[in-house]
Amino acid sequence: MSDPTHIAAVQFWDREGAAPTHVSWMADPAVRAYINRSISGSPHTWPIDWFVEWLRGRRFERGVSIGCGTGPLERDLIRRGLCRRIDAFDGSPRSIEVARDLARQEGVADRVTYALGDFNDPKLERGAYDIAFFHQSAHHVAKLEKLFSNVLRALKPNGLVYLDEYIGPSRFDWKDDLIAPHRRFFDRIPREARLVEQLPLMNEPEDPSEALRSNEIISQLRHGFTILERRDYGGTLLSVIFPYVDWSRAPAMLVDNIIEGEKELLRSGHPHYHAIVVATPKEGWQRLYARIRYFVAPKLRRIRWEIAKRLSPNRTVKF
């Protein structure tokens, strides 16, 4: 808990847990219809509805939710009967308090166990879970290998990972050329509806855990898990531009225009920044290899980082 990044992230999420200030791009009804359609083919079928259909009747005795925040996902999963019990953890004490209160109010408190925990020092029970959920949390993880290795060990054979995530550029990858297409679009929005003169390189600068290694999530997951299903749902333009628009002054068609702009960007080969992934643990020697890889790779990274630092002490070296 002495890691300054973790402390600042917890402070940020404690404030958000107590009084949310961020309106998510996903909350807009037109955007929601676009997301739902991208995932399920229908504007009315939400991701979890799609997942329930995909499961064809499969249900889970015990799940774990990694980075539960104030707990909307777990309450939904219990209400739907998808999981009988869920253990959930998060680094923000205030969010955990809110999650516990809401679970009590909604009569599901006996089925969800909330605890404080750090993604980068995970302590999941071995072989205990049928399914692990990541809902907009894996992009806050610094030690992806350690967490995925822990999840691999914690899942039962044939268990599942359900991940709904930002998988776009990591925070240190943003450069002027990467954000140029977003800026070109943003600059065409009427000045009075723009909250900033120029789009900044990074959303949520006050949260140092934002997008720490987001662009590695899928490749790291693949080492230990077989991907059974992947549904990309954009966010490439929308998630970057949305927070910087004054929606009370925006022209009526702006959301639809951004959605169309995003589709065009995706057609021209830009990657999706958000996806849902369903995966299952690898078995046998592949699993053993993954565990070794998850253990060794961060150490090699560290060595490479130390060498680069020594060779050019004045340069900022990405770890």
Ligand X SMILES: C[S@@+](CC[C@H](N)C(=O)[O-])C[C@H]1O[C@@H](n2cnc3c(N)ncnc32)[C@H](O)[C@@H]1O
Residues in contact with ligand X by CB under 6 A are 6, 9, 13, 67-69, 72-73, 90-92, 95, 117-120, 135-137, 140, 209
Q: Which is nearer to ligand X, 8 or 254 (by Cβ)?
A: 8
CA-based nearest residue to 61, from 77, 75, 49, 46: 77
Q: Which is nearer to ligand X, 146 or 183 (by Cβ)?
A: 146
Strands 129-135, 112-116: pairing kind: unpaired
Say how many C-beta atoms besides its own lie within 10 A of residue 260's C-beta.
13
Q: Which is nearer to ligand X, 13 or 174 (by Cβ)?
A: 13
C-beta pairs of 31-38 under 8 Å, 24+ apart in sequence:
31/238, 31/242, 31/255, 31/259, 34/234, 34/259, 35/233, 35/234, 35/274, 38/231, 38/232, 38/233, 38/234
Q: Which is nearer to ligand X, 49 or 250 (by Cβ)?
A: 49
Q: Which is nearer to ligand X, 45 or 136 (by Cβ)?
A: 136
**CA geometry: angle at 214 spanning 294 and 231, to 5°?**
100
- Separation of CA 34 from chain center: 19
CB of 47 to ligand X, least distance (A): 11
CB of 49 to ligand X, least distance (A): 17
CB of 172 to ligand X, least distance (A): 17
CB of 139 to ligand X, least distance (A): 8
The Cα-based distances of 257 to 120, 133, 193, 241 in angstroms read: 39, 33, 14, 12
CB of 75 to ligand X, least distance (A): 11
Q: Which is nearer to ligand X, 13 or 242 (by Cβ)?
A: 13
* Cβ–Cβ under 8 Å, residues 168 and 162: no
CB of 191 to ligand X, least distance (A): 30
